[in-house]
Amino acid sequence: MEQLKINQISEQVWEIPPTGAMRVPGRIYANENLMQVIRDDQSLKQVANVAQLPGIVGYSMAMPDIHWGYGFPIGGVAAFDIKEGVISPGGVGYDINCGVRLIRTNLVADQLKIDIKNLIAAIFNSVPSGIGSHGAIRKLSRSELERVAVQGAKWAIEMGYGSADDLQFIEDRGCLADAEPSVISQRAFERGADQLGTLGSGNHFIEIGKVVDIYDSTTAQAMGIFQGNLVLILHTGSRGFGYQICDDFIKSTLRATQKYEIEIPDRQLACAPLKSIEGQDYLGAMRAAANFAFANRQVISSLIYDSLLKTLKISPNELGFRPVWDIAHNIAKIEEHQYGGKKIKVCVHRKGATRAFGPGNPELPEIYQAIGQPVLIPGDMGTASYLCVGTEIAMRETFGSACHGAGRILSRHQAKAKARSLDLYQALAESGVYVMAEEKGTIAEEMPFAYKDVGEVVDSVDAAGIVRKVARFKPLGVIKG
């Protein structure tokens, strides 16, 4: 691989100056130590590749959790001008609107009257997980799925999954407008028909955690989080519905790439002009998949709520269960931003990156207006997760974006090889985490040693000023797909 020139701009910011076909520089947010790990990966080449796409505005950006993905790097952020720019299905990924939901409760983790194992088992039994998991709710017809695709989380609430109050705590109130089910293939509907309300496999999980550190008590309080608090984190996306939509549209945008004579360095970067029919069709289909994912997390959240009430034998008021925030970290959205002293409309691709809007943004609900958007950064299943908030600096520098997790350093295959000699359940139990999984393989793939140090990743974005740390959670129990 040719060596890319990288200049350090500040303690937390690095730049790849434009060379060859790059239209803008690349920018990486990371401290020096993380940057050393990133240099060993092929992801910087991918940052440079994204910088070659037409209509990119500012920089091809990467967060400190960046790692080698397919086409776009994972941990990448790129905004495209809506008149001159493109949209790329590979810049969103197969798991459209893969995201996380943080749920707060009134419970104090250390005062639980039952063993955490029983709680994990109850959730495990009520939420289908694992490879090709299905059957959480009845199989949906095409017309019902079309309603899910248009309404998102609201559909789930109308079906009795959760409460209408939940919507204000979901990005875009759980529904992207202008979803277009008519451009979606029968195959996607087939794959989605029995997968709503299922966790899936890979890195998807449900975690019960405990708040161990509060860095900003006023902000934590506004979100209903307190020291020792029992919280839950849910990580999943649009399941087979989204995977198939991405697959179908990479095929059609590859043809569009040729038709509009766009030069791409890797086929996975297939893209279409935003204003073209191909670009608009993908945008409509992607929004539909995003809405499926919002509905999916809403249904699962409600299944978790029911199993907690039943297992703990307490009232809804005692449980105090509500989402703190539900975020998308694989998505493309049309947003208005201040850039170069003026207001511009761009299509922001966040692939393995989280929206991180600062205080006062009209997109945020009333209760978060003063503090900024909650940003949840889950770590690996044995370490910790962080709750942060978006900032003004993120609005100025990163189109209101931040990192989405710790970021892999070992491939799943390497992680499995390393795990062979270990008793994984024992190793996790020793660090105080009880794990249940449909397949043992996914535990090996997701072990802490496969990831960067989430604390260092979060410290890096906090030091860069694009988020502000609020609280840290330790996992107590995890359900792996």
In contact, 452 and 418? CB cutoff 8 Å: no
Q: Could you tell me the smallest distance in angstroms from the CB atom of residue 120 to another protein?
A: 21
The residue (of 58 and 89) whose beta carbon lies closer to another protein is 89
- Residue of 163, 413, 423, 430 interacting with another protein (CB under 8 A): 413
CA distance 340 to 347: 16
Q: What are phi and psi of 251, to 5 degrees?
A: -60, -50
Nearest to 148 by CA among 187, 103, 199, 193: 193
Give the binding range for another protein (CB under 8 A) out of 35-43, 114-122, 222-230, 454-462.
35-43
Considering the rule CB under 8 A, would residue 216 count as an interface residue with another protein? no
What residues between 253 and 292 interact with another protein by CB under 8 A? Answer: 254, 266-268, 270
The residue (of 46 and 302) whose beta carbon lies closer to another protein is 46
Catalytic (active-site) positions: 404
Considering the rule CB under 8 A, would residue 202 count as an interface residue with another protein? yes
- Residue of 410, 424, 425, 465 interacting with another protein (CB under 8 A): 410
Nearest to 209 by CA among 74, 324, 352, 357: 324
Give the binding range for another protein (CB under 8 A) out of 1-9, 216-224, 301-309, 403-411.
403-411
**What residues pair up with 343 in beta bridges, in sequence order?**
338
- Residue of 12, 25, 50, 67 interacting with another protein (CB under 8 A): 67
- Give residues with Cβ within 8 angstroms of 90, minimum separation 6: 70, 71, 72, 246, 250, 268, 269, 270, 271
Nearest to 77 by CA among 95, 96, 58, 94: 58
Considering the rule CB under 8 A, would residue 187 count as an interface residue with another protein? yes
CA distance 327 to 384: 18
The residue (of 372 and 481) whose beta carbon lies closer to another protein is 481
CA 478 from centroid of its chain's CA atoms: 18
- Residue of 240, 284, 374, 390 interacting with another protein (CB under 8 A): 240
- Beta strand 86-87 pairing with 13-16: unpaired
Give the binding range for another protein (CB under 8 A) out of 63-71, 332-340, 387-395, 462-470.
63-71
Interacting residues with another protein (CB under 8 A): 41-43, 67-71, 74, 90, 93-95, 130-132, 187, 190-191, 200-202, 240, 243-244, 246-247, 250, 254, 266-268, 270, 408-414, 439, 441-442, 481
